Structure 1
């Protein structure tokens, strides 16, 4: 077979605020690959099927001199993130040709590697599309599941507030909390997302762009648990409406990913006044502790007991635009790029 184009999404510029498609990331078709003859050197040849677009990827677009250190993307190299790859050829006895891995892949159509970071095998399952393995059954879902199991100390009858609750992480947390008998308050940025929250059983769903978060929490709180995906004034409102001995789970800070002015917190004194436990985490540290996630959640999806919402962009050439839309809050569900069937 003659060499074929190996399209890639390259990191080409450090964004001023948002990563702009065609400027800060560019789709490149200059590379080709001979799928039959490219040397594997003991590794595997992957065909990338789906890739995940996540807000934290923006945090890696800081350049070599930033405080992001080794985790920063390299200029001129492909952006990287979680994906599902089909193994076309293999010299690895543990992963034969025809099998599939979820893991950390470059944003390109084909890739040769000896190992895949954060990887694990997946197999076809009725009702569970490949895209789910980079969403509710993948890194975002595991973030919600493992963080909740590790830090929530939830009890039936308590009240939890989830910010950015319509996202994959937030929606996973909301459904876990409902299943455990908690009252769930969830915020989102569009009326469409609010309707999705209602469809998954959120008790109090509101559009924070139309309704003041502090007023909602005053009425519906106080809260026992806050799952924080955004930081900033939303975190401040949660602090102001916290119950004694509440638990704050710091998962993300959407308000600071794109630079700009830092919000000045007004209610930090509530941490000691309410005797709040604040837990921050990144998901790699929890992955070894909860292997049951990779069995339990796909089973829940297959049985229709875990709902999810996806915003699928077809074609790697459109990934930059999907990334930009995700940063601007325009995604209608978990943002996913379908690279190949």
Structure 2
């Protein structure tokens, strides 16, 4: 019988998270039945969406999450021992699967790239950027695109995509170091929103003729302000709202409906889970761009399963530099 570890909710998620919200426990897994596999986590991901996914869950529930795992025991011929898969059993070291809801790492996965990218630029992160820019934003060469959270895992990929596809790309980030990184990625203009005195005037100066596509990763006051900078027929791609995930009080925002109405602006929220038919196309294109050197990536790797809560909470402080990954 295999012993595993898992992170469960200690104190229900409400407001800013602390160590008390997380509890590490051991558990036992039963012997395999026919058709089942036992997998061991190799890489795990922490992402802001997990904060919202667990907000109404009770203490004791396993925290949701995705991982790259390796088959260590098998009674399923489709998944022999040694096979690497992407699966979503939560924050656990070991799990049992009957093959449903998991996917093998593509045999054509680039040999010179780390498997952890299957959780990032070649996984949910990259898919979100690709779907948001192409399917929702429908960006076109020559347009002006603005990406908030531009140094983040999704934002950095989304902005690079827009540049590859011929757009002028603007962005915002929360530190001078992140601004420098985003500029290295090829963004045309980036500013530190914690340093500029007047964000509204700064955006007006960078895009005096308005913005065609706003790729929103932050929500809140910043995004409410962005609406009035949208051009006629502009598109707002709502991918995330990290500034709001820890809030406990309802927020009051100025009315934006006149701007939406008179400029025929489209606001479209999405999660990539609703666009699974686009996954193969997205991964193929992202892989090609990476291999050609057109698309860069950066990972913020934390060693050790015991450090998952620390890495997760750091997301909401803007401490991570690139896609946050846990290495077992």
Question: Shorter-chain TM-score: which interval?
Answer: over 0.9
Is contact 2:34–2:76 with CA below 8 Å preserved after alignment? no
Structure 1 stretch 317-326 or stretch 213-222: which is displaced more?
213-222
Select which of 27, 30, 33 maps to 1:31: 27
What residue number does 2:39 align with? 46
Equivalent runs, 1:41-190 vs 2, <5 Å? 41-63=34-56, 73-117=57-101, 119-123=103-107, 125-190=110-175
Select which of 217, 223, 226 maps to 2:203: 217
For 2:140 and 2:91, locate their aligned partners in 1 and report how far apart those are by CA, in whole Å: 41
Is contact 2:66–2:119 with CA below 8 Å preserved after alignment? yes
Q: CA deviation at 1:295?
A: 2.4
For 1:189 and 1:263, locate their aligned partners in 2 and report how far apart those are by CA, in whole Å: 23
Is contact 1:217–1:237 with CA below 8 Å preserved after alignment? no
Q: What is the Cα-based RMSD across aligned positions, in Å?
A: 1.9
For 2:172 and 2:122, locate their aligned partners in 1 and report how far apart those are by CA, in whole Å: 22
Is contact 1:230–1:254 with CA below 8 Å preserved after alignment? yes
Q: CA deviation at 1:125?
A: 2.5
Q: CA deviation at 1:266?
A: 4.0
For 1:39 and 1:118, locate their aligned partners in 2 and report how far apart those are by CA, in whole Å: 17
Structure 1 stretch 121-130 or stretch 284-293: which is displaced more?
121-130
Is contact 1:128–1:301 with CA below 8 Å preserved after alignment? no
- Tell whether 2:300 aligns with 1:300: no
For 1:40 and 1:198, locate their aligned partners in 2 and report how far apart those are by CA, in whole Å: 52
- Tell whether 2:2 aligns with 1:9: no
For 1:48 and 1:278, locate their aligned partners in 2 and report how far apart those are by CA, in whole Å: 38
TM-score by length of 1: 0.89
Q: CA deviation at 1:129?
A: 0.5
For 1:59 and 1:4, locate their aligned partners in 2 and report how far apart those are by CA, in whole Å: 31
Select which of 264, 278, 288 maps to 1:289: 278
Residues 118 and 128 (structure 1 numbering): CA distance in 2 closer, same or farther, change over 3 Å?
same
What is the DSSP-based 3-state SS (H/G/I as helix, E as strand, rest coil) of the residue aligned with 1:102? strand
For 2:223 and 2:48, locate their aligned partners in 1 and report how far apart those are by CA, in whole Å: 18
Structure 1 stretch 199-208 or stretch 110-119: which is displaced more?
110-119
For 2:156 and 2:201, locate their aligned partners in 1 and report how far apart those are by CA, in whole Å: 22
- Tell whether 2:262 aligns with 1:264: no
Is contact 1:146–1:287 with CA below 8 Å preserved after alignment? no
What is the DSSP-based 3-state SS (H/G/I as helix, E as strand, rest coil) of the residue aligned with 2:62? coil
Question: In the comparison of the two structures, how many residue pairs are matched?
Answer: 323
Residues 116 and 187 (structure 1 numbering): CA distance in 2 closer, same or farther, change over 3 Å?
farther
What residue number does 1:66 align with? none
Residues 75 and 181 (structure 1 numbering): CA distance in 2 closer, same or farther, change over 3 Å?
same
Q: Specify which structure has the bigger relative contact order, considering alpha-carbon pairs within 8 angstroms and separated by 6 or more residues.
A: 1
TM-score by length of 2: 0.92
Q: CA deviation at 1:194?
A: 0.9
**Structure 2, unaligned runs of 5 or more:** none
Q: CA deviation at 1:244?
A: 0.8
Q: CA deviation at 1:287?
A: 1.7
Is contact 2:126–2:283 with CA below 8 Å preserved after alignment? no
For 1:103 and 1:159, locate their aligned partners in 2 and report how far apart those are by CA, in whole Å: 37
